[in-house]
């Protein structure tokens, strides 16, 4: 059997990926409910944006974009 050039995923990486997928699937119903509440005018949608894009908000702004926004 030939050895691949790149190492295969370790068991830990597979377990982490499976855990993350289960969390996303498990919270899909909750996010769906929040989106429906927003579309029905029952919320302002901050929690939906946080649930969908919260990880992006934690990223720092690139220096060039920061300079552009400063004007």
The model's pLDDT over 13-63, given as tens digits with 9 standing for 90+, comes to 666 665 555 555 556 678 888 888 888 999 888 888 887 788 887 888 899
Residue whose structure tokens are 């699937």: 25
Q: Give a yes or no: residue 58 inside a domain.
A: yes
Q: Give a yes or no: residue 28 inside a domain.
A: yes
Q: What is the pTM of this model?
A: 0.38
Question: What is the total count of domains within the chain?
Answer: 1
> How is residue 32 written in tokens?
């769906």
Pair 51, 34: CB distance under 8 Å:
yes
Q: What is the pLDDT of residue 11?
A: 62
Q: Give a yes or no: residue 60 inside a domain.
A: yes
Containing structural domain, residue 29? 11-70
């Amino acid at each position: 059997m030939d050895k691949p050039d790149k190492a295969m995923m370790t068991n830990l990486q597979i377990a982490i990926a499976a855990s993350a997928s289960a969390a996303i699937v498990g919270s899909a119903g909750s996010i769906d409910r929040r989106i429906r509440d927003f579309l029905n005018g029952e919320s302002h949608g901050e929690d939906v944006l946080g649930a969908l894009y919260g990880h992006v908000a934690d990223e720092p702004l690139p220096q060039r974009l920061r300079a552009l926004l400063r004007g």
